[in-house]
């Protein structure tokens, strides 16, 4: 099986990556292949897994990811830095087992007459404005829904719902749902201006289009990436036809992860 390692630059991550590489080299069943891997092992945190996802985005349907965390427990990382040998044993016994999660499709039209862009996010996409209020139309299934005024909007996947979305009071969604959530960032609500004021969640056969009044002064992100600065006509968000696959050698219950990460103290502690 062809395996690649994608590591962050921390000293623990570098050490784990070197150990892994040596064990892969010694294995009869595994080959290191950074260009055309079947398995990508990300070593670091959730941010590292996000970077690995975008690094291998062109072959996302052919890859299964595995995450080793070298800091605190992550949402995309199941293995600890001291479990390298157990992970290599699991890779050698691999029988293709996987679990997959929804991704966010982002289609952007520009006002400069140039080509449109399509991209895919694992966590979320945000549209924000920092030098003044962002004013946008929000359409659902091409029908006008509301005029948003505020700092911005965050559109996230279920696995991304524990990231930026949570910081702006979005709901945490189990990744078993095929859904996309839109959360507001500091909307203006008074007698004159009104938004829904709560997150909304759309199913696979619906889409959301955001049309900024001002095409120029917006910041558009796709996970940790800044989308290039061109005047935006509209952005359409929907659930992607692609999914991210993880090699599932062990199972950590999603709600256990949420509780461990955000609550920490348990009844029996
Ligand atoms: P970063 O600013 O270095 O890290 C942001 C934090 O988000 C890290 O602690 C990271 O965990 C964590 N994280 C990433 N994905 C997560 C997920 N699905 N669930 C829970 N936590 C998650 O940036 P980065 O490492 O390049 O990550 C980019 C992400 O940062 C964006 O996709 C966005 O979700 C998040 N972000 C959040 C805010 C906010 O909450 N106000 C603002 C900007 C960006 P690790 O430490 O394990 O890497």
| pLDDT, tens digit (0-9, with 9 covering 90-100), for 12-29 | 999 999 999 999 999 999
The two structure tokens encoding residue 167: 């910081």
The predicted structure's pLDDT at residue 268: 60
Q: Name the E strands within 111-197.
A: 117-121, 124-128, 134-140, 143-156, 180-187
The tokens 């099986």 sit on which residue?
Answer: 1
Rounded Cα–Cα distance for residues 108 and 232 (Å): 7
Q: How confident is residue 264, by pLDDT bands cut at 50, 70 and 90?
A: confident
This prediction has a pTM of 0.96
**Residue 186 pLDDT:** 97
Q: Which atom of ligand 1 is nearest to the CA of 48?
A: 48
Q: How confident is the model at residue 188, as a pLDDT?
A: 97
92: left (phi over 0), alpha (psi -120 to 50) or beta: alpha
Asked if residue 6 lies in contact with residue 37, where contact means CB atoms within 8 angstroms, the answer is no
Catalytic annotation, pick one of 26, 33, 46, 89: 46
Pocket test for ligand 1, best of 6, 45, 47 (most atoms within 8 A of CB): 47
Which of 24-33, 74-83, 126-135, 166-175 shows the lowest per-residue confidence on average (mean pLDDT)? 74-83
Q: What CATH code is assigned to 2-97+248-262? A: 3.40.50.10330
Has 46 been labeled as part of a binding site? yes
**Ligand 1 centroid distance, CA of 92 (Å):** 31
CATH number given to 102-241:
2.60.200.30
Give the number of residues written for the chain.
269
Q: Check pLDDT > 80 for residue 267.
A: no
Block residue for tokens 């293709």: 96
Active site residue 46: yes
Return the ligand 1 atom nearest residue 69 CA.
47
pLDDT at 250: 87
Instruction: Report the distance separating Cα 179 and Cα 205, nearest Å.
Output: 10
- Provide the pLDDT confidence category of residue 119 given band limits of 50, 70 and 90: very high
Say if residue 31 carries a ligand binding annotation. no
| Residue among 9, 70, 163 to mutate when testing ligand 1 (max atoms within 8 A of CB) | 163
The tokens of 57 are what?
Answer: 């985005």
For the chain, give every domain's residue range. Answer: 2-97+248-262, 102-241
> Is there a shared CATH topology between the 2-97+248-262 domain and the 102-241 domain?
no
More confident residue, 139 or 268: 139
Counting from 1 in the atom list of ligand 1, the atom nearest the Cα of 72 is 47
Average pLDDT rounded to a whole number, residues 99-118: 96
167 burial via Cβ count (<10 Å: 0-12, 13-18, 19+): exposed
Whether 53 shows a pLDDT value over 90: the answer reads yes
Distance 109 CA to ligand 1 centre (A): 27
pLDDT at 266: 63
Ligand 1 centroid–CA 164 distance in Å is 7
DSSP class of residue 83?
A: G
Region 78-103 average pLDDT: 96
Using a CB cutoff of 8 Å and minimum separation of 24, what contacts does 54-63 make?
54/122, 54/223, 54/224, 54/225, 55/6, 56/4, 56/6, 57/120, 60/120, 60/242, 60/244, 61/242, 61/245, 62/38, 63/37, 63/38, 63/39, 63/245
Q: Tell me: the pLDDT tens digits for 188-221?
A: 999 999 999 999 999 999 999 999 999 999 999 9
CA–centroid distance, 144 to ligand 1, in Å, is: 32
Give pLDDT tens digits for 154-188: 999 999 999 999 999 999 999 999 999 999 999 99
- Which residues have C-beta atoms less than 6 Å from ligand 1? 45-47, 50, 71, 74-75, 123-124, 159-160, 162-164, 167, 223-224
Residue 269: which pLDDT band, with cuts at 50, 70 and 90?
A: low
156 Cα nearest atom in ligand 1 = 34
Q: Which two tokens stand for residue 77?
A: 């990382």
The pLDDT of residue 228: 86
């Amino acid at each position: 099986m062809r395996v690649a390692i994608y590591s962050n630059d921390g000293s623990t991550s570098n050490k784990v990556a070197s150990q892994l590489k040596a064990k892969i080299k010694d294995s009869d069943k595994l080959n290191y292949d950074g260009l055309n891997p079947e398995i990508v092992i990300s070593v670091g945190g959730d941010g590292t897994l996000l970077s690995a996802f975008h690094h291998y985005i062109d072959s996302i349907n052919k890859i299964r990811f595995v995450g080793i965390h070298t800091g605190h427990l992550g949402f995309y990382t199941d293995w600890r830095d001291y479990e390298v040998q157990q992970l290599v044993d699991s890779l050698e016994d691999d029988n293709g087992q996987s679990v997959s999660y929804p991704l966010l499709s982002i289609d952007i039209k520009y006002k400069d007459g140039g080509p449109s862009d399509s991209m895919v996010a694992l966590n979320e996409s945000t549209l924000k404005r920092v030098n003044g209020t962002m004013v946008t139309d929000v359409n659902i299934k091409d029908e006008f829904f509301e005029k948003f005024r505020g700092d911005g909007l965050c559109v996230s996947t279920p696995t991304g719902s524990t990231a930026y979305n949570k910081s702006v009071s979005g709901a945490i969604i189990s990744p078993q749902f095929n859904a996309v959530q839109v959360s507001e960032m500091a909307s203006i609500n008074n007698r004159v201006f009104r938004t829904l004021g709560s997150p909304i969640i759309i199913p696979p056969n619906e889409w959301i289009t955001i049309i900024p009044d001002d095409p120029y002064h917006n910041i558009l992100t796709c996970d940790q990436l800044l989308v290039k600065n061109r005047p935006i006509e509209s952005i359409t968000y929907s659930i992607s036809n692609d999914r991210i696959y993880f090699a599932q050698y062990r199972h950590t219950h999603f709600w256990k992860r949420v509780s461990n990460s955000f609550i920490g103290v348990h009844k029996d502690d």
